Amino acid sequence: MGSFIMKKNEPIYQEMRSLMPYFLVISGIYLLITIVFCFANEYDYSLPIGAVYGCIISALSFMLLGKACQNAVKKSEKSAQTYMSAMYCVRYLGLFAVLTIGALAPFISLITSVIPLFFPRIAILIRAIKTKEE
């Protein structure tokens, strides 16, 4: 299955590193918004806890996707398709399990933990727009 440790000389490391500032800014703004809603909603601390939980899940999921792509490139076409399909299923089953745990925990807001799953896509889009402008 391959090692999931990122090495500095791999393209996936460089890609993750270039996306990290965008992801962190988006996550920071989101966390500030959830803190405001926490105070506005009679100190509902589950909102910012859910936001942090979701950001961690999102980052780990995106890193696993990137590493799976990096490993698939080293395989034959048919083997790579099978590998990516299997990793896709494993990743989404893991997301389902982790989000289910979050949904069952009374101190984690499910809604605020699901929203960060879109942040990697938003970060990629922002970086693409910024790179195109330059």
Q: Which carries the bigger pLDDT value, residue 93 or residue 18?
A: 93
102: number of Cβ within 10 Å: 21
Amino acid at 134: E
Average pLDDT, the chain: 89
Q: With 0.75 as the threshold, say if the pTM is over it.
A: yes
Q: What is the pLDDT, as a whole number, of residue 1?
A: 44
Chain segment 84-96, per-residue pLDDT in tens: 999 999 999 999 9
Chain segment 121-133, per-residue pLDDT in tens: 999 999 999 888 8
Question: Count of alpha carbons within 13 Å of 54, Cβ hemisphere only?
Answer: 27
Task: Say what percent of the chain tops pLDDT 90.
Answer: 66
Residue 113 · residue 102 · CB < 8 Å = yes
Residue 50 · residue 113 · CB < 8 Å = yes
Q: What is the pLDDT, as a whole number, of residue 5?
A: 62
Q: What is the pLDDT, as a whole number, of residue 87?
A: 93
Overall average pLDDT of the 75-101 stretch: 93
Domain residue spans of the chain: 11-133
